[in-house]
Amino acid sequence: MNIYFAAAIRGGRNDAGIYSLLVQELSRYGKVLTEHVGNDALLARERQLSENEIFRRDMQWLDQTDLLIAEVSTPSLGVGYELAMAEIRSIPSLCLFRRQEETRLSAMIAGNPFYKTISYKNPIELQALLKDFFSRFGQ
């Protein structure tokens, strides 16, 4: 299974540690096409690509993916775009949102029935939530 993992890159890297853990966990269930999102060393290599090269590459990965998983706790225009493209292409999509007192998930994601959304409190909780999700995925 090809998994497209989306998370904030230019919108903020405060959750880079969580992204790294998520990429490792998702690798248990399939090939993570966008593993660079969780790896700062790979992101450094991406800086050598033009904006157009990044866009074309990511759209090709979306065409190859079976499932999009987006960490949506940090608002990101790019992640929103990727989610919209997944919906247009009917790619099953899971949104992961870390509950915090000061933040709320955008209504455009939370209110959209196309997206499956899972809320979590901390990264440790994600392992069990993802295991449960993947045990049901495709049924």
Count of domains for the chain: 1
Helices (H) then strands (E): counts for the chain:
6, 5
Note the pLDDT tens digit of each residue in 66-99: 999 999 999 899 999 999 999 999 999 999 999 8
CATH number at residue 75: 3.40.50.450
Reported confidence tier of residue 139, pLDDT bands at 50, 70, 90: very low
CA angle 103, 43, 62 (to 5 degrees): 75
Name the residue range of residue 14's domain: 2-136
CA dist., res. 125 & res. 87, Å (int): 27
Which single residue is written with the structure tokens 């966008």?
34
Token pair in block for residue 125? 């909780």
What mean pLDDT do residues 109-136 have?
92
- Give tens-digit pLDDT for 98-107: 988 788 899 9
Burial of 61 per CB tally in 10 Å (0-12, 13-18, 19+): middle
